[in-house]
Structure formats: C-alpha cells, structure tokens
C-alpha cells in the first residue's frame, strides 16, 4: 500500500525534481524517531516527512543539501553532545548535535537526481547512434525533430551535417547549455565559429568536431567518442545542467554562535535579532542561552 510520502516521491521523480530521501536505519532511545521513518529534503531545504525532532531535522537538512550537491549517498549519524565514537569514513559522516535530547540516530541520505537530458539535433547516422547509445549511459535523449527544446539539457549535440547548424548552436547557448557539441569536420567547425563570432565565455562551451580522439570511423564509434567526451566533462570537469528559470537560490547556511554547528536557515530555524543583527541557532536551547547572555 502506498503512503502519502511514497506518492510525493513518485510525483517528484515524474517532474524531474532533485531531492534527497532520508531513511532512519537505527534510532536509540529516547529519540523520537524510529527505524524506518522517512523524509524527503528538497533543494530549498524544506523537509517533508519525519526523521526526528527539530534538532535532528536541522542536522539532516544540512547534510542532505551536501549530498544533493555531491550526488553521493551518505550514512549520517547524529549524536548528542559528548558522544563522538562513530568514525568518519568514506560514505559515512558524523555530526555532534548539542541540542539533541539524547539518543543517537543513524540516517541514510540518498540523493535522487533526475537523469541528465541530452538535446539532440539531426537525423544523421551519427545522431541515430548517439540516440541509441546515450540511454545506456543514463541520459534522457530529447530530439529537436520531435519538438524538444534545449532548456534544461546538460548537453546539446548537433549532428545535422547541414541545415541551420549555427541556429541550433545559438539556441543551445541561449538556453545556458554548458556543452554544445558539433559533429563536423575541423574546417566546417572553424567556419561556423567565425560565423557565430562568439565571446570567449560562450566559445568555451562549444566543441566543434566533438568527441575524444579514439580513431573513430563508423557512426557508433563516433557516438562513443562523443559520449565519452560528455561523460568526462560531467565527471571530471563538473558539467551540470543549467538551473530552470525561477529556481530559488540555495538556502543560507550560518554558524550557530553558541555551539559552532552549521545551520541551514529555514522558516522554522530558531532565530533572534539583537541590536539589529540576525542570529540563527541549531535549537531553542542555544538561542535562549545566547539571548540571556546578550540581552540585558
């Protein structure tokens, strides 16, 4: 039987919205969470579901946003102050939360990111080979011939061998695509760049005669070289898809002036404004002690 949270997860995946699924895998009394409790954390820091009280949720929020940025899952252990026996290991992290009322929590944070979109222009043999191979590498192929637009794509590949190649490149650049590959000869690529007369910031994003040099001859081999270049740009050079218009900026992170914890600021984050300066805290305890020390 599905649950409201399961329905919400399905909805986010259909809409291609990135989020982190947080699952409690172990909970120690007197924690209010129990093994199996789940929540999702969105890119704006909002949490839907339950993985513990306010203090635990604050730690989960901050760690989940880090997992969302890195794309890597992490086992988070949230410990009360004075308990730091859980080691830092690859794939595991620890946060000592001084406002936790007691009871360690182990929570697995799994970033669920939408598959990257490859915008493909053309119906040449190479274009068909790219369309066939790209999904095996986890890409969603959106084809211009089917009415797709480059907005939101991590890369665009133009393999029309004629037609309005300059217009296709221009449209991808205007959409903010960070990798625009052109399947063409070196001579044609140079002529196209001269025709476009791009500023340096855009020129760096265009790859004429696209593909790693592997001696490719056939259409499938050329497709392999193109996708290898794209994977390298993603894995080694940090290529990402442009943010959708209207995407809110990431939430602000500050340091609790009492305990030194990193706090992701949200609507429910404990807050105090003293002498015109805003301060945020991991929990009500730190806020109250700070206010008591600084307000006469």
Pairing mode of beta strands 105-112, 92-97: unpaired
Look at residue 2 and tell me if it is in a domain.
Answer: no
**Token pair belonging to 255:** 């340091």
**Do 197 and 169 touch, CB atoms closer than 8 A?**
no
233 and 280 fall within a common domain: no
176 and 265 fall within a common domain: no
pLDDT at 27: 87
41 and 124 fall within a common domain: no
Q: How many domains does the chain have?
A: 3
- Between CA 75 and CA 73 the distance in angstroms is 7
pLDDT at 250: 82
| Domain of residue 222, CATH code | 3.40.50.720
Look at residue 52 and tell me if it is in a domain.
Answer: yes
CA atoms within 13 A on the CB side of 248: 8
pLDDT at 196: 93
Single out the residue in 59, 83, 112 at which a domain terminates: 112
- Tell me the average confidence (pLDDT) per consecutive run of 10 residues in the chain, 296 residues long: 84 92 90 92 93 88 92 90 56 71 85 95 96 97 95 96 90 96 93 93 95 96 98 94 76 89 86 92 88 86
Single out the residue in 188, 204, 237 at which a domain terminates: 237
pLDDT at 42: 94
Q: What is the pTM of this model?
A: 0.74
CA atoms within 13 A on the CB side of 72: 9
121 and 71 fall within a common domain: no
pLDDT at 97: 73
Look at residue 24 and tell me if it is in a domain.
Answer: yes
* DSSP assignment string, 190-214: HHHHHHHT--HHHHTTEEET-S--S
| Domain limits for position 181 | 117-237
């Amino acid at each position: 039987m599905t649950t409201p949270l399961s329905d919400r997860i399905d909805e986010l995946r259909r809409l291609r919205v990135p989020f982190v699924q947080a699952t409690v895998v172990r909970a120690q009394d007197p924690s209010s969470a129990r093994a199996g409790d789940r929540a999702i954390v969105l890119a704006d820091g909002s949490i839907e579901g339950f993985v513990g009280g306010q203090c635990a949720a604050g730690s989960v929020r901050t760690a989940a946003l880090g997992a969302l940025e890195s794309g890597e899952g992490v086992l988070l252990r949230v410990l009360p102050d004075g308990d730091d026996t859980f080691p830092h290991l690859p794939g595991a992290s620890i946060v000592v939360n001084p406002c936790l009322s007691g009871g360690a929590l182990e929570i697995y944070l799994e970033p669920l990111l939408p598959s990257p979109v490859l915008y493909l222009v053309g119906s040449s043999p190479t274009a068909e080979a790219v369309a066939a191979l790209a999904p095996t590498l986890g890409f969603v192929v959106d084809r211009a011939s089917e009415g797709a637009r480059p907005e939101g794509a991590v890369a665009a590949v133009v393999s029309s061998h004629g037609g309005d190649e300059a217009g296709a490149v221009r449209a991808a650049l205007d959409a903010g695509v960070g990798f625009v590959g052109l399947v063409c000869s070196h001579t044609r690529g140079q002529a196209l760049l001269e025709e476009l007369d791009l500023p340096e910031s855009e020129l760096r994003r265009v790859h004429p005669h696209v593909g790693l040099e592997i001696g490719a001859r056939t259409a499938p081999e050329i497709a392999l070289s193109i996708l290898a270049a794209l994977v390298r740009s993603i894995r080694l050079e940090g290529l990402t898809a442009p943010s959708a218009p209207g995407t809110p900026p990431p939430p602000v992170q500050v340091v609790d002036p009492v305990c030194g914890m990193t706090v992701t600021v949200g609507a429910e984050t404990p807050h105090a404004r003293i002498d015109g300066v805003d301060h945020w805290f991991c929990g009500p305890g730190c806020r109250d002690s700070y206010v008591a020390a600084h307000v006469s």
